[in-house]
Amino acid sequence: MLTEQYKLYDSQADIVMLGDSITFGLNWNELFNINIVNRGIGGDITEGFLNRLDSIYSASPKKVFIMGGINDIYRGVKVNQIFSNYIKIIEALKSKNIVPYIQSTLYNSARNDLNSSVTELNNLLKEYAIKNNITYIDLNEKLSKNNSLISDYTYDGLHLNSNGYKIWKKEIEQYITTSINQ
């Protein structure tokens, strides 16, 4: 299991990408050519993110980009519980002087019936980010239309293809490349 494998790494990184298979699907370090480690795990839920925060801390990052929640929704976890997990993750990161960046949970086109929960979660996350002066990056603005992932950006209605990752890169690039000390 990747959670255990991440404990083997003695990587130090300026930035950590925390998420599920959508995050795991790309080599972020090579994409940006800076010191980023990928801590995405396929099928992971926000409770899993919480359970592996030690693997984040051990990398000593200055910034963590978080994106998840869709697997929770697929499994029937209530939006309020997902949001509560996010708050715990964010507050834990902040307590270690790590700057969290919240990325919207992506809509999907494989199960459109779940997208109302995605909207509800993203609204809570955005509101929380605004109230707490945390950067919220709405990836759905570019990757989705009518609350559904655009087919040009996905190969299965849930995961991104290279076109989707190009958009994601463009949306977060300014936050990735901003000085680590800011």
Residue 83: what pLDDT? 98
Identify the pLDDT of residue 94: 98
- What pLDDT, on the 0 to 100 scale, is given for residue 180? 56
pTM, full prediction: 0.93
Tell me the pLDDT of the chain (182 aa) as tens digits.
545 555 555 578 999 999 999 999 999 999 999 999 999 999 999 999 999 999 899 999 999 999 999 999 999 999 999 999 999 999 999 999 999 999 999 999 999 999 999 999 999 999 999 999 999 999 999 999 999 999 999 999 999 999 999 999 999 999 998 865 44
Backbone torsions φ then ψ of 136, nearest 5 degrees: -115, 125
Check residue 182 and give its pLDDT. Answer: 46
For the chain, how are helix, strand and coil distributed in percent, rounded to 5?
50, 15, 35
CA-to-CA dists, residue 118 to 10, 43, 122, angstroms? 35, 16, 6
For residues 38 and 31, what is the distance between their CA atoms, to the nearest angstrom? Answer: 11
Contacts of 123 (CB under 8 A, 6+ apart): none
The helix-helix angle for 115-131 and 79-95 (nearest 10°) equals: 30
Q: What is the pLDDT of residue 133?
A: 98
